[in-house]
Structure 1
Amino acid sequence: MEQREWKNRKRKKRSRKIQRRFYQRMVLVFGVLLIFLVLANFIKADQEFSEEENRMLAQKPELTWESLVSGDYMKDFESYVSDQFFARNQWITLKLYEDISLGKKESNGVYLGKDGYLIEKPDEPAWESVENNMSAISALAERYPDISTYMCTVPNAYYILEDKLPAKAPVRDQEADLRRISELMGDRVHNISVTDILKEHAGEEIYYRTDHHWTSLGAYYAFGAVAEEMGLKNVETEYNIHTVANDFQGTLASKSGYHASEDKIQVYEAANIEPEYIVTYVEENEKSASMYKSECLEEKDKYTVFFGGNHARVDISTTQPERKNLLLFKDSYANCFVQFLLPYYQNIIMVDARYFYDNIDSLIQNYGITDILFLYNANTFVTDNSLADVLAADESDEDADTGADSAADEETGEVSDTKTGNNV
């Protein structure tokens, strides 16, 4: 009996010794790993831009007494550490596999949907900004009663592709958001709804699986509704479709860490109407004979094949004979939509209010604008806080004529012989 107890005590003592050694080694491994990560983050050069996520990364904040007292410094420093952490993309992927193993259907704000679809969670609307923007849009339409003003707010994938969402995924009622935006429009703003046409084709690839944008096919279906509402004449119905990429993985793949799906990017060339045109990137002082930038197909974000991404202002001058000039206020959804507008306007002036600081009234008057279109995806529009400031009236120019009959002869340049689809 005593011998048995002695053996049990000896066995327990040996077990405790093994456990102690194990924990010591674990602490050592953790300590070495922690030191390695600290040194790696210290040595690693900061990045300004993430190609994976297609966004600017937070930079090291400046330490001031005011920022320290207000708490802004710690908040900014936390964002900086998160964005600049060593092997950040690999950690995101590791977290994804952990989430999947635990049965989760969401990773880093992205729903892991059915059939390989990654669907962005909607943002909470900033209704005060929305009301300010809508008031500014209505005021602009009132200032220029002879100009037809239209607004198209494009629903996002989580609303149109409800059947692709994980079961019981909590999402906002975007239909109610779109209805509220419509109710805020003034009498002079024509609402163009593309919800029904997109729902009708929800079974087709109208949104990318790995990116938050709609595809050229989705834009094509929406263009039919827009063209009808805007009264465009002799609308083209036949297109030559060129697939320019088959391996696109967009921002949602990078954000979630899920890389099992790939998308194709297509551009559409009107089969019977081939306008020649020149694209002018005003801020960059550059001209191009095509809206497509084929070199972007070698980059991570292949969606930037359309205009190379977003710019403060892009002017397009075409050989279209009818003197119609469009002012397009837009986000990145419009970048693939413009290819369908080319045959119907002599000039298309694209303005991204997030980067634009010039006088909008002078622009309208100098170019003899005949149509104004606001084209945004709903998720961007309900969080935008820049549009109202851009649309504000220029008080120093209150007595100026609206310029509806003025010549659009500034900064347009001559049109080359290069055709729409040949530069992809």
Structure 2
Amino acid sequence: MEPTIKELASGIDTIWVLLCAALVFFMEGGFAFLEAGFIRAKNSMNIVMKVFTDSTLGMLSYWAFGFGIMYGLDKAGLFGTSGFFMEGNLEHIQLRVPIYAYWLFQAAFAMAMASIVSGAVAERMKFSPYIIYTVLAAGLIYPLAGHWVWAAGGWLYNLGMLDFAGSAVVHAVGGWSALAAVMVLGPRTGKYNEDGSMNVLPAHNLHLAFLGTFILWFGWFGFNPGSSLSGLDMNIARIAVTTNLAAAAGGTAGTLFTKFRYGKADPSMAMNGALAGLAAITAGCAFVSPLSAVIIGAVAGVLVVLAVAFFDRIKADDPVGAIAVHGVNGTWGVLAVGLFAQNGGLLYGGGFKLLGVQALGVVSVSVLAFALTYLILSALKKTVGIRVSVEEEFEGMDVIEHGMPAYTGLVTSPLYDVDEAPLHAAAEDRKPALRLS
């Protein structure tokens, strides 16, 4: 029997969504390499394990209850009430692809949101409480924000908020969750001095971080165009172009701005500039022109440099710049839709209505993410503890948490990267409560 045109179209769309879901899932490799490269060698296996946990337990929690909270039958515009374990009533979700394909695509997004936080808490958060957090991040925090913005009946969806692929739902939510986590956790030992000055705890492998950046950039061709959910949507070409241009503009701005400001082009800011451009364009990639995408990306590349410096000044220790990349520039990207959207944007004669909705939406999901993360980690801090001891931090989390180093055959002092005396003085000052919790 010959397939109908409708069946052929559905088949093409299904293949497209599954392919893009695989690209987004591959971004977890990018997160792992990027975050491992940005931190010290003695903690690099631990951070990869955290990203792996996002991809395993995070995926299972999204299957068990996250998808139902996000896309189940709406309750008061706030959360879903069906579809847990992908069972029950999901007929209200109108799709041209099988529900399984759509779930896989969304599960990859949930893992990405959790992995934003993993980099910010690197080098001092215990592995066991992180497992609990990632289950709740992928299964509760991301789904609640997603229901508000993307689910039919969600209160921000009903207001007309535009967040095509998740500058708010994934990036702002992940970034401001990261800020809350950092505030509860505290900075790495030796990062800041009593006079407010900062010590550099150097990245151990920027080549690895660059590889992670390229993988993330590559994966974004699934992240943004895949959100069309159709391989027959001719707008996917423009989405891919605006995505790519914003990344290029962000990377260029990060490179040139640091060259101008500090006299040298900073590789870490070049990478984070490109990622900031990607986080910013994710909301508007389907709604803005290529020129607007370049502007959005360039602004993001400058913002990320300024934001990293700002968070260091307030002693919010984020080893990979996740708050600046995702929180600040996810927020900027949502607001940029209100400015640059060709249909309804302020600069295109649409007035302030869309901009107001965008501002309300991104503030709402950011406050939700920050508050829930702060409450969850504060509760874990008071019960099981969330931070390794000072001695364990000196030794390195790879051996302490997992029983093996990332690099065998290398003999280095665990204190090779900082002056030992001030750290031991800091440890003495914390006694008798040497274990941070």
Q: Which has the higher contact order (CA 8 A, sep 6+)?
A: 2
TM-score interval, smaller chain? under 0.3
Greater strand fraction, Structure 1 or Structure 2: 1
Give the TM-score of the pair, scaled to structure 1: 0.25
Larger Rg: 1
| Structure with greater helix share of residues | 2
